[in-house]
Amino acid sequence: MSTGNFLYGVAMLLFLIGFYTVLARPSLIKKIIGINIMETSVFLFLISVGSRRGGSAPIILSGVKDYVNPLPQVVVLMAMVIAVGTTALALSMAVKIFESSGAGERRG
């Protein structure tokens, strides 16, 4: 594996770890954490696709010639918003499932 695509490999590894959590861990909250790990790994992959050696942040300043690719950053920012939405929804479902399946011992 060429060292250049090192970050892609890390992203895929994180994706698998997250996927494993969702598949194998029984607790609903742990599954949601797993989903978040998968999401961040996909974002890492998207950003590393758009990265550029020696490129600086996409804020146009005089004198700076080559910039990092801004399009993946837009995609990832929107996907992060979606990730927050999905996590909040999943958490509220998990809470409602727990509470309507018989109130276990619950501290205030």
Partner 1 sequence: MEKHFLILTVTVPLATATLIPLLSIRWERAGFWLASLALLFSFGSALILVGGVLVDGRIAYHVGGWAPPWGIEIFLDWVGAFFLLLASSLSLAVAIFSRIYVEQNLEASKIPLFYVLLLLLAGGMIGFILAGDIFNMFIFFEIFSLSSYALVAISGGLESLKASFRYLLMGTISSLFVLLGIGLLYSLTGTLYMPLLAQELGVLPYSGAIRAATALILVAFGIEAALFPLHVWLPGAHSLAPSPVSALLSGLVIKMGVYGMIKVLFYILGGRGSSEIGALFSLMAATAIIVGALFALRENDIKLIFAHSSVSQIGYVILGIYLFSYFGLAGGLLQVLNHALAKSALFLCAGVVISQAGFRRLEDLRGIGRRMPFLMVFFTIALASLASLPFTCGFASKYYLCKGAIERGEFWLAGIVLLGSFLTLLYCVKIVNYIFFATPAVGRGGGERSYPEVSPWMMVPIGVLGFGSLLVGIFPGLSFILIKPAVLGLLGMVR
Partner 2 sequence: MSLIYFLVPFLLVIAVATVFTRDLLAAVIIFSAYSLIMAVVWQQLGAPVLALAEVAIGAGVTVVLFVVAVCRTTREEKV
Partner 3 sequence: MKKLGAIFLLSLCGLFLLAAVTSLPRMGDPENPTNSLVVPRYLEKGLRETGCRNTVTAILLSYRGYDTMMEMVVLFTALAAALAILGRESLETCCETFVLPSLLVRMVVVIFVPLFLAFALYVITHGFTTSGGGFQGGVIVATTVIIYTLVFGLDEMVKRISPGVRMVLESSAILSFMLVGLLGIALGGNFLITTTPTLGLSDFLRRAILLLLEVSIGLASGAVIISLFCLLKKVERG
Minimum CB distance to partner 2 smaller for 62 or for 105: 105
Which residues, in sequence order, are CB contacts of 72 under 8 Å at separation 6+? 46, 47, 49, 50
Rounded CA separation 39/55 (Å): 25
Distance CA 63, CA 74 (A): 24
Tokens of 41: 């790994």
Q: Let me know if 28 is exposed, middle or buried by CB neighbors in 10 A (0-12, 13-18, 19+).
A: middle
Map residues 45-64 to x or -, x wherever contact with partner 3 holds by CB under 8 A.
---xxxxxx-x-xxxxx---
Binding mask 15-54 for partner 1 (x = CB under 8 A): x---x--x-----x--x---x--xx--x--xx--x-----
Q: Interface mask (CB under 8 A) for partner 3, residues 12-31, using x and -? A: xx-xx--xx--xx-------
Interface ranges with partner 3 (CB under 8 A): 1-2, 4-9, 12-13, 15-16, 19-20, 23-24, 48-53, 55, 57-61, 66-67, 69-74, 77-78, 81-82, 84-86, 88-89, 91-93, 95-96, 99, 108
